[in-house]
């Protein structure tokens, strides 16, 4: 006999799933800054009078600003996330929460859920398409987001899972990602998000000349690293300069006839083009950024959807990042020990988070950070980063417009790049060069209240973020 | 840094996975009667001197006859399986084991594993294609078996998983079913099975005139049941008469323009042809029986691979069998209370097992059993089946060459079928009719030692099988 999972409202789902004060609820961020679901659910939970919840989200954006009220009112008293945008970050840094925010990485979060360190009582899954039993996916629907990499683990390991969808299809859906066996309730709403905020119609590479110079240099670093051979694997993010780096790398790979193995990242059309051009045999996709990439995920079997645990779980028997040859990533600051900050700006205010930064840098044979020497008259190479996101031991090369610094541990790599004529400089020289143009930055003053803890891949607290004064 | 999972031999994998006396190991039967893996592993385990193991297999075939020696020698002291072929069954019924064999259903087995009632220490997965991190599938490779429905749960929930493959491909494999995060060790062997035993080049519908009559009648039962409307869902097995029933059903669906939702079963080319003809929008495939169907699974996104937990887990939040409209299944015996036996022959000797029989009959709105009135001069309709596999409460219609018996609980259905001119008879009349041709069968004499327990979907022991005298 058919089970009944459809409930009439989010409130009914909350009641059915048995929410109680003190429980942990989870959200994923495939809807990004277009997400309506977290706010809808939290508003309902607050209206129902629940208190003292732990909210475990894969990432939080400024569309989630109403969360600040739920924090102030004691509805949410613990916050776990891998990323937080600047509007929320400013409030957290102002000290609105009693407990410090727990920042994890994209790999550590599912790992901690799966191994029982941060169990989830109720997962709320924003599903662009679902049937009435909860077979669901992000690949189809008016709010399509592409890969469902974050949602897979939450749905599977939460004690109860509620699917919230704005496109109900006839059972059984074709092309499901999460099977019904992990879903307890299904709610249909008018809209789970704003399509314009979920994916971009087009992703763009930078047109900034400094960015293009750095991108070209980064591609040359890979070219001469000794890693660019058949079977090469690569990840890049969706930032303008790193994407431009991928574009230059594509040209080199095509010119040399290199057949790579896989490419990962937030997936954009530039990476899809590399697949289609034969630079890689497969895309492993935990998060899809634009419409062309969603189309590729739907139609090209070489474009494979993966969970974030598969992507980067540090205690999984193996994970994809551990097989990476090289990655391009950005930084808000780097220091002379090659530590990287992507959590806070130079005033110490939260405006990001690791996401997969620490995961890919730890896993890859060569981690390349692309960042300008200065931004807005502030030098980006510091004596010490304001916040350590990724430790210097995991960073191999820093590319700036003023030269390339190689981590001193990489003696052979440095020699290779020097022999290839790349502009190798000591990181202290880069720092001095930047400071000649910007002056020595003032030390940041902050309060003594810990507003956030940065949890590294091994579970240790690698740094703390303090309140602003 | 890359993890290392490749080990040199099955022996090394057994050592690495930490096998100890008394542990539970598991196998799946996608290699069917062509399987080499279970014997290779068990021979090694026996040679290493392990004792007192529980062996949990999805099904056992006569290729696994060497298991009898491992039972006699005390290597295996508990056996769990959903199906056992006649050669092994005869030995079990002769009393070679101290503990009774535990028969489960295809749905109950993964359910018990997932919910911790029958935990697995080490799962051995026979993988037709794998990479060196254990991303693996049954869809490709020289020993391709198609769907990996049974292997998915074992790999995911076992404490340790060993993948044994005869086709290692470059990392990361394209089209994996089981992701590397569930795999601890990978062993490469020359052959995991005999392709001729794994799948058949062609599946054949019966040419037996009695089978064809029954098949045609069964299709008419569906036609007039009231269930054959758009959205119709269906499962059939791969037996000759049930397949012929599917063929007749296809003709009816095409003639009436019925657009069904999904079809399940051991998947054969007949079901693939129904998909391609537009009779169904999708195939849900836990087990693939022939080369045409493997081809469809590889290339047609409407042909979806599902785990056996998804298929039929009785304690899952929902499972596919619960959405079924109708099913065709066979029987070795039926009794006047509509109980069905597919475990033992009429001499009480084990020669099968539920597989998914109990699951689909419990889930479907209408379960149709197709069986001749007699085989080899033995009547198939008994006062009481020798072994209850599926209780009569879950059976709706019995189709024989001598007429159609409807379970008395189905008053409305019986009226519909009668009105449609189907040859409806009381089951006692069918029994009498058969016995007029065969005589009343002798009661079976058996010993008082329980050699097997039949565990129903709710965990209760629905019947016991005794030793032969």
Q: Which two tokens stand for residue A158?
A: 């939460």
Q: How many CB atoms lie within 10 A of CB A87?
A: 16
A201 with A290: CB under 8 angstroms? yes
A8 with A41: CB under 8 angstroms? no
B175 neighbourhood in chain A, CB within 8 Å: 301, 304
Choose among B179, B130, B138, B3: nearest CA to A307.
B179
Is the Cβ pair A171, B261 closer than 8 Å?
A: yes
Residue B240 pLDDT:
77
Is the Cβ pair A316, B181 closer than 8 Å?
A: yes
Residue A204 pLDDT:
78
The residues that bridge with A200 in the sheet, in sequence order, are A290
Does residue A359 carry a pLDDT above 90?
A: yes
A338 with A384: CB under 8 angstroms? no
Compare all CA atoms of chain B with the CA of A262 and give the residue at the minimum distance: B172
pTM exceeding the 0.80 threshold for the entire prediction: yes
In angstroms, what separates the C-alpha of A430 from chain B's closest C-alpha? 29
Interface A–B counts its CB contacts (< 8 A) at 113
Is the Cβ pair A5, B319 closer than 8 Å?
A: no
Length of chain A in terms of residues written: 469
Question: What number is the average pLDDT over the span A255-282?
Answer: 96
Question: What number is the average pLDDT over the span A117-127?
Answer: 98
Residue B204 pLDDT:
78
Compare all CA atoms of chain B with the CA of A394 and give the residue at the minimum distance: B1
Strand ranges, E, within A100-216: 101-103, 122-127, 129-130, 136-137, 160-165, 185-188
Question: How far lies B73's CA from each of B45, B98, B287, in Å?
Answer: 12, 12, 33
Q: With pLDDT > 70 as the criterion, what percentage of chain A qualifies?
A: 100
Q: How many CB atoms lie within 10 A of CB A437?
A: 11
Q: Which two tokens stand for residue B378?
A: 């033995």
Residue A74 pLDDT:
98
- List % helix, strand, coil for chain B (3-state, nearest 5): 30, 25, 40
B196 with B219: CB under 8 angstroms? no
Task: Report the SS3 class of residue B166.
Answer: coil
Q: What is the pLDDT of residues A40-89, one digit of tens each?
A: 999 999 999 999 999 999 999 999 999 999 999 999 999 999 999 999 99
Is the Cβ pair B180, A316 closer than 8 Å?
A: yes
A9 with A187: CB under 8 angstroms? yes
Q: Please return the burial class of B188, using the count of CB atoms within 10 Å of its CB with bins 0-12, 13-18 and 19+.
A: middle
Residue A444 pLDDT:
87
Choose among A126, A284, A266, B407: nearest CA to A275.
A284
User: What is B61-108 written as a DSSP string?
Assistant: -GGGTTHHHHHHTTSEEEEEES-B-HHHHHHHHHT--SSPEEE-BTTH
Q: Please return the burial class of A344, using the count of CB atoms within 10 Å of its CB with bins 0-12, 13-18 and 19+.
A: buried
Task: Walk along chain B (469 residues) and give the pLDDT tens digit of each residue.
Answer: 788 999 999 999 999 999 999 999 999 999 999 999 999 999 999 999 999 999 999 999 999 999 999 999 999 999 999 999 999 999 999 999 999 999 999 999 999 999 999 999 999 999 999 999 999 999 999 999 999 999 999 999 999 999 999 999 999 999 999 999 999 999 999 999 998 888 877 677 888 999 999 999 999 999 999 999 999 999 997 777 889 999 999 999 999 999 999 999 899 999 999 999 999 999 999 999 999 999 999 999 999 999 999 999 999 999 999 999 999 999 999 999 999 999 999 899 999 999 999 999 999 999 999 999 999 889 999 999 999 999 999 999 999 999 999 999 999 999 999 999 999 999 999 999 999 999 998 888 999 999 999 999 999 999 999 999 8
Q: How many CB atoms lie within 10 A of CB A212?
A: 19
* ipTM higher than the 0.85 cut: yes
Choose among A165, A85, A101, A175: nearest CA to A132.
A165
Residue A265 pLDDT:
85
Q: What is the pLDDT of residues A183-192, one digit of tens each?
A: 999 999 999 9
Q: Which two tokens stand for residue B430?
A: 């069918």
CA-to-CA distance for B355 and A352, rounded, in angstroms?
A: 52
Question: What number is the average pLDDT over the span A415-426?
Answer: 98
Q: What is the CA radius of gyration of chain B?
A: 22
**E strand or H helix at A453, and its extent?**
strand A446-455
Tell me how many helices (H) and strands (E) chain B has: 15, 25
CA-to-CA distance for A58 and A126, rounded, in angstroms?
A: 13
Identity of the residue in A180, A313, A318 whose CB atom sits nearest the CB atom of B318: A180
Question: How far lies B220's CA from each of A195, B239, B429, in Å?
Answer: 48, 18, 21
Interface of A with B (CB under 8 A): 1-3, 5, 133-134, 170-172, 174-176, 179-184, 231, 261-262, 281-282, 284, 301-302, 304, 306-307, 309-310, 313, 316-320, 322-323, 363
- Spacing of C-alpha A28 from chain mean position: 11
Q: Please return the burial class of B264, using the count of CB atoms within 10 Å of its CB with bins 0-12, 13-18 and 19+.
A: buried
Interface of B with A (CB under 8 A): 1-3, 5, 133-134, 170-172, 174-176, 179-184, 231, 261-262, 281-282, 284, 301-302, 304, 306-307, 309-310, 313, 316-320, 322-323, 363, 365
Interface probe with B: pick from A162, A179, A280, most Cβ of B within 10 Å: A179
A304 neighbourhood in chain B, CB within 8 Å: 172, 174-176
Interface probe with B: pick from A148, A172, A282, most Cβ of B within 10 Å: A172
Question: How far lies A273's CA from each of A68, A228, A242, A260, B156, in Å?
Answer: 41, 18, 15, 13, 34
pLDDT tier at A310 (50, 70, 90 boundaries)? very high
Is the Cβ pair B261, A183 closer than 8 Å?
A: no
pLDDT tier at A3 (50, 70, 90 boundaries)? confident
Residue A240 pLDDT:
77
In angstroms, what separates the C-alpha of B102 from chain A's closest C-alpha? 25
Q: Any residues with CB less than 8 A from the CB of B258 and at least 6 apart, and which?
A: B228, B229, B230, B232, B252, B279
Is the Cβ pair A172, B322 closer than 8 Å?
A: no
CA atoms within a 13 Å half-sphere pointing along the CA-CB vector of A404: 28
Is the Cβ pair A282, B174 closer than 8 Å?
A: yes
Does residue A373 carry a pLDDT above 80?
A: yes
Q: What is the dihedral of CA B297, B302, B308, B314, to 10 degrees?
A: -170
Identity of the residue in A2, A171, A323 whose CB atom sits nearest the CB atom of B2: A323
């Amino acid at each position: 006999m058919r089970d009944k999972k459809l409930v009439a409202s989010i409130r009914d789902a909350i009641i059915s799933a048995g929410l109680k004060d003190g429980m942990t609820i989870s959200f994923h961020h495939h809807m990004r800054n277009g997400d309506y679901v977290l706010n809808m659910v939290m508003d309902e939970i607050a209206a129902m009078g629940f208190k003292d919840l732990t909210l475990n989200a894969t990432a939080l954006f400024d569309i989630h600003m109403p969360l600040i009220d739920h924090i102030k009112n004691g509805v949410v008293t613990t916050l776990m996330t891998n990323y937080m945008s600047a509007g929320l970050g400013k409030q957290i840094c102002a000290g609105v929460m009693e407990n410090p925010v727990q920042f994890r990485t994209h790999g550590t979060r599912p790992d901690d859920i799966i191994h029982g360190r941060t169990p989830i009582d109720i997962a709320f899954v924003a599903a662009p398409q679902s049937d009435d039993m909860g077979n669901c996916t992000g690949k189809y629907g008016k709010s399509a987001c592409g890969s469902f990499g974050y949602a897979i683990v939450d749905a599977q390991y939460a004690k109860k899972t509620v699917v919230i969808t704005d496109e109900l299809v006839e059972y059984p859906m074709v092309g499901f990602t999460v099977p019904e066996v992990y879903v307890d309730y299904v709610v249909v709403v008018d809209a789970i998000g704003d399509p314009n905020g979920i994916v971009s119609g087009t992703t763009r590479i930078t047109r900034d000349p400094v960015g293009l110079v750095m991108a070209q240099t980064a591609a040359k670093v890979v070219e001469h690293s000794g890693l660019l051979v058949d079977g090469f694997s690569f990840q890049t993010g969706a930032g303008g300069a790193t994407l431009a780096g991928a574009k230059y790398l594509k040209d080199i790979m095509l010119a040399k006839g290199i057949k790579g193995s896989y490419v990962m990242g937030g997936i954009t059309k530039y990476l899809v083009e590399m697949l289609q051009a034969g630079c890689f045999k497969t895309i492993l996709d935990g998060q899809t950024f634009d419409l062309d990439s969603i189309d590729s995920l739907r139609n090209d079997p070489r474009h494979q959807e993966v969970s974030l645990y598969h992507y980067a779980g540090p205690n999984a028997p193996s994970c994809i990042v551990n097989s990476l040859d090289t990655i391009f990533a950005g930084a808000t600051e780097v220091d002379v020990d090659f530590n990287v900050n992507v959590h806070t700006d130079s005033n110490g205010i939260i405006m990001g988070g690791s996401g997969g930064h620490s995961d890919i840098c730890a896993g890859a044979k060569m981690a390349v950070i692309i960042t300008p020497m200065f931004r807005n008259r502030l030098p980006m190479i510091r004596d010490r980063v304001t916040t350590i996101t990724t430790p210097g031991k995991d960073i191999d090369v820093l590319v700036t417009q003023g030269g390339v610094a190689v981590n001193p541990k990489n003696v052979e790599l440095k020699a290779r790049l020097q022999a290839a004529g790349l502009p190798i400089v000591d990181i202290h020289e880069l720092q001095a060069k930047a400071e000649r143009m910007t002056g020595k930055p003032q030390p940041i003053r902050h309060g003594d209240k810990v507003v956030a803890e940065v949890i590294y891949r091994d579970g240790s607290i690698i740094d703390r973020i303090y309140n602003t004064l």
